[in-house]
Amino acid sequence: MDVEKEIADVNSADPLQRQESIAFRDAHWATRSIAVGIGTLVLWRCIAFVNPDLMMLVPQWLIVLLFGLAPQVFLLAFPFFARRPRVTMRAIPGAKQIATEFLIAVPIVILAVVAQAAVSYAIERLAPGNSLPTDSMKEMAKAMDQTSVYVMLAFAITFAPIAEETFFRGFLYNAFRARMPLVIAVTLQSFIFGFGHFFGTSHAIVATGLGLIMTLVYEWRKTLVTPIFVHMGNNLLASIGVLFLLAQHANGPVLGIGGDPRDTECVIHSVMPGSGADEAELFEGDVIIEFGGTPVRDFTQFIDVIQQYQPGDAVPITIRRHDIEMNRTVVLQKRGDP
């Protein structure tokens, strides 16, 4: 495809005709814009590797603003500012087309859920202990601040699908499609989408599959409306799963510590004032070795072990502090208690 010639043809068209003809599929982006877009994604994902102790020094509202809202605003705005030629994009489809695309998206979402269930079953069979309810979903369900979880889920169902479909399908896929064979463009963009949602290998693989489905839907329908609805539907069902887990853990026991699942030991990174851990005089840097007589391997396993108890239980705990083992007894509290 002669991209420059096509741009010239669009620029030479009547202004009113140009306004009606330019959509995401008709626009073009410079190679440097692709590099900026992908580079920003990489920087965003690098946040996952920042030391949690450093993140704790930053106010929670600032973390949400800088690492939650700001990247999504970038995904939505960047394709519009970077497009070539810079003319008004095609208007939003009418109510009839939106209703049609919604009805088309519903069975696609159902099929995607069935496919995810099959993949989850296969993962559990091949790698017992692993499943599609990722550690991130489980951690959200066990979060002390449930209000922030509700806000994040609402954001994931509404704004995030619009922003991400605009960026990944509207911008990135169309930019690739103009430069390489269709199959490669579909595959590469879906892979970037999947690993841009990296919360573990199994989650990234499933996200890649979802990206592939939404790209094929976009290529079929020639509008972003349908994949946006598919994306929203998938996030809605995932959010229902988080709410179900949240209900399960609503009255669950907590020790009042924070840790990092990436640690090779169960290192305490934070202690909540007034919690059972605080009253037992556990400190940041302590390593939990045993809990209730059960050896503790890491923080993720500790989260599973503590669910075997009830709020109010007094549980013996063994910690290591400066290479010295110490025994304590901790009284578990109910999630949500001050």
What integer pLDDT is reported at residue 5 of this predicted model? 45
What integer pLDDT is reported at residue 61 of this predicted model? 66
In sequence order, the β-bridge partners of residue 258 are: 270
Cis link prior to 161 (omega < 30° from 0)?
Answer: no
What integer pLDDT is reported at residue 107 of this predicted model? 96
What integer pLDDT is reported at residue 250 of this predicted model? 65
What integer pLDDT is reported at residue 233 of this predicted model? 95
- Is the four-CA dihedral 228, 234, 238, 239 of positive or negative sign? positive
In sequence order, the β-bridge partners of residue 271 are: 257
Measure the CA–CA gap between 50 and 35, rounded to whole angstroms: 23
What integer pLDDT is reported at residue 3 of this predicted model? 43
Specify the CATH architecture of the domain 253-334: Roll (2.30)
Encode the chain (338 residues) as per-residue pLDDT tens digits.
444 444 444 344 443 333 333 467 878 889 999 999 999 988 887 776 666 666 666 666 677 777 778 889 999 999 988 887 655 555 567 889 899 999 999 999 999 888 877 777 776 677 665 555 555 555 555 554 567 778 888 988 999 999 999 999 999 999 999 999 999 999 999 999 988 875 666 677 888 989 999 999 999 999 999 999 999 999 998 888 888 777 766 677 888 888 877 788 999 988 888 889 999 999 989 999 999 999 998 888 898 899 889 888 999 999 999 889 999 999 998 876 55
Portions of the chain given CATH number 2.30.42.10:
253-334
What integer pLDDT is reported at residue 14 of this predicted model? 40
What integer pLDDT is reported at residue 51 of this predicted model? 64
